[in-house]
Structures are given as C-alpha cells and as structure tokens.
Amino acid sequence: MSKRELVALFRSVPPEFLMDEEERAAHQALEDTVTVYRGVTPYNAKNISALSWTLDRKTADWFAHRFGEEGTVYEAQIRKEHILALFTGRNESEVIVDPRHLEQIMESPEPGFDMQMT
C-alpha cells in the first residue's frame, strides 16, 4: 500500500477504534504544534518521511542504534490535526502522522550531557 492509502485508512477509522481512552486523552492534550522524532538505521535511511514517528527523543535514538547500527535521529514539526493516532504501548509514544504535513525535518542534535543524565 502507498503512504497515501495508509493515511486514508487511518483517517477512515474513528479514534475510539484506534486508541484506548488513555491514548485519546494524551492525543487531545498535545499542543497545536508537536515536535516528533524518527530514528533510522542505514537500512531505512531513505524512509525519513514515514508515517511512524515518536514523541520521545530517546525512543528515536534507540531505533537509530538498534542492532548495533550507526543511525540518525530526525526531528520535525507537525500540527496536531495531522497526527492520526498516538500509541503508548511498549513505552514508545508512537504517533502515526500524515507525512505530507511534516515540517522543518532535520537531523536532531545529539542530546547534551545534561539531557543524558536525566
């Protein structure tokens, strides 16, 4: 399926069928514009503009470096209205987005020493 077809499928399903009550509440609580992160390995480095992102920089970092890979973490801005679902399972804070609306995609700077200590 194309990204466009997947987005259409996500948009066609009512939120109560995609997310549980806690996830819907977390989605509603998001700011109007949200920073999202995506970790890619060399294997999927060309698939930056994808549907699956995370709200958590550390989760994106894990995906970028899993399997011992030297990957990259990207960050982008997206308006809440283009976040189609938020999943909190597996502690990933995964968001499904309409990638056509990702803005300011760039490599995310490595966290500073202070961030690593938290």
CA angle 66, 69, 74 (to 5 degrees): 80
Q: What is the pLDDT of residue 92?
A: 82
CA 81 to chain centre: 14
Q: Which two tokens stand for residue 9?
A: 């499928």
Q: What is the pLDDT of residue 112?
A: 58
Q: What is the pLDDT of residue 91?
A: 79
The secondary element (H helix, E strand) that includes residue 11 is helix 3-12
Number of domains, the chain: 1
**pLDDT tens digits along 89-116:** 887 899 999 999 999 999 988 775 444 4
What range does the domain containing 38 cover? Answer: 3-117
**pLDDT tens digits along 30-69:** 999 999 999 998 887 778 889 999 999 999 999 998 877 7
